[in-house]
Copies of this chain bind each other. A is one copy, B any other.
Amino acid sequence: MIHEIVITQFRKMLGNLLTILDEGEAYATHKGFDVDVLLRARLAPDQFDLIRQIQIACDNAKMAAARLSGTEAKVPVHPDTEKTLAEVKARIESTVRYLGEFAPTDFAVAAERRISQPRWKEKSLSGTEFVVQYALPNFYFHVTTAYAILRHNGVPVGKKHYLGELPFKE
């Protein structure tokens, strides 16, 4: 299930985020204000703005795939310099492409891997703990907060934009 979560679903949610940003752009155009206002918007003065929420969501997805597949040394670097909507969208698209390079077999031993990151020093989680208790809540935190910033500023998005299509069977 790790591949479904970290690759298939995170890619899908990042795609949904692109749609949500397009709605933000259309709203700014319709209302006649600069879309940068949305990119710099935040829900609290000491919480990250929309650009930073999206950068972190992208990093959550990218680093989860890299760490769980044991390919952290080869992960592409994103210096967090995005300032415009086009740059923010390119960052998301770059992350979606990167995730698309993984196959289910890359995560064959992911559940049992010990996962760490620099600020955890020598401490680690199992792959399953990392996905369930860290990667998932973090990724959805930043995607939902990005959505909430736009929603709070009047962008007409709804739960369907956030969830995307579901693979129903009749």
Contact = CB atoms under 8 A, between A and B. Distances in A.
Given A1-B111, A137-B140, 15 more contacts: A1-B131, A5-B132, A9-B132, A9-B133, A13-B137, A44-B152, A44-B154, A120-B168, A124-B169, A125-B169, A129-B166, A134-B163, A134-B166, A141-B159, A144-B144
A155 to B, nearest CB: 9
A94 interface: no
Interface string A1-22: 1101100110011000000000
A123 B169 contact: yes
A136 interface: yes
Contacts of A125: 166-169
Main secondary structure of the interface of A (DSSP, over half): helix
Interface in A124-170: 124-125, 128-129, 131-134, 136-138, 140-141, 144-145, 147-148, 151-152, 154, 159, 162-164, 166-170
Nearest to A13: B137
Given A122-B170, A151-B44, A133 B1 contact: no
Interface of A: 1-2, 4-5, 8-9, 12-13, 43-44, 47, 111, 114, 120, 122-125, 128-129, 131-134, 136-138, 140-141, 144-145, 147-148, 151-152, 154, 159, 162-164, 166-170
A136 B128 contact: no
Contact of A140 (B122, B133, B141): B141
A14 B12 CA distance: 26
